[in-house]
Amino acid sequence: MSMSASELQHYLFAPHPEEEEATANASFGFWIYLMSDCILFASLFATFVTLSRSYAGGPTSQEIIHLGHTLEETLVLLCSSVTCGFAMLAMYRRQLRRVLGWLAVTFVLGLTFISLELQEFLSLVAAGHGPTHSGFLSAFFTLVATHGTHVTVGLLWMLVMMAQIAVKGLSEPVQSRLIRFSMFWHFLDIVWVGVFTVVYLNGVL
């Protein structure tokens, strides 16, 4: 029995029971991962606060923090969160090209953030202020670099999503993965606001 065009479209794009179950399981697993990440960053924040005055005769936070550079990083990452939101809006409207376009902009902004962070790390190491110099610097590098590693993973995830969208379109499983990626990216922005406040802003006051 042949299908009409509308029936075929409904069959292709309507969620099937197997896909719905797989999506529900993946979403549950993702929430568990996200909660474990919250615990990880909470531990790193607590460690940093504990060691934030352990300079061991080395540079203080006021000496190594350049707030202008960090503000630039912050603006870039927050803008990437906005463009990621635009990609999600385009997804709900099934505008495939706009989804890919906004994800590409988000990728460039995220890569810019990582480049700025690497510049900061390299300048500190070149000045002799590496992570082994003091407890403060160890906690600083660990917290900030852990966040940067997450952003790098997010960039790789973004590339995979863009490839899947280009090949498979905006199917139900792809949309589900894109929603989880968006949550992950916004989570990193929230963590960075905490890093900026606790590490950088508090460090120069």
pLDDT digits (tens, 9 = 90+) for 131-186: 999 999 999 999 999 999 999 999 999 999 999 999 999 998 999 999 999 999 99
Q: What is the pLDDT of residue 15?
A: 52
Q: What is the rounded radius of gyration, in angstroms, for the C-alpha atoms of the chain? A: 21
Whether 56 is covered by a domain: the verdict is no
Residue 129 belongs to domain with CATH number? 1.20.120.80
Cα 69 to Cα 106, 113, 121, 158, 192: the distances in Å are 20, 11, 12, 25, 14
Whether 40 is covered by a domain: the verdict is no
Mean pLDDT of 61-72: 93
Among 63-67, 74-78, 98-102, 139-143, the least confident range: 63-67
Q: What is the pLDDT of residue 187?
A: 97
Domain range for 173? 65-199
Report the first-to-last Cα separation within the chain, whole angstroms: 74
From CA 39, how far away is CA 120, in angstroms rounded? Answer: 26
Mean pLDDT of 105-109: 98
Residue 9 pLDDT level (bands cut at 50, 70, 90): very low
Tell me the whole-structure pTM to 2 decimals: 0.87
Contact assessment for residue 194 and residue 45, using Cβ atoms and an 8 Å cutoff: yes
Whether 110 is covered by a domain: the verdict is yes
Whether 165 is covered by a domain: the verdict is yes
| Number of structural domains the chain divides into | 1
From CA 99, how far away is CA 3, in angstroms rounded? Answer: 30
From CA 35, how far away is CA 30, in angstroms rounded? Answer: 9
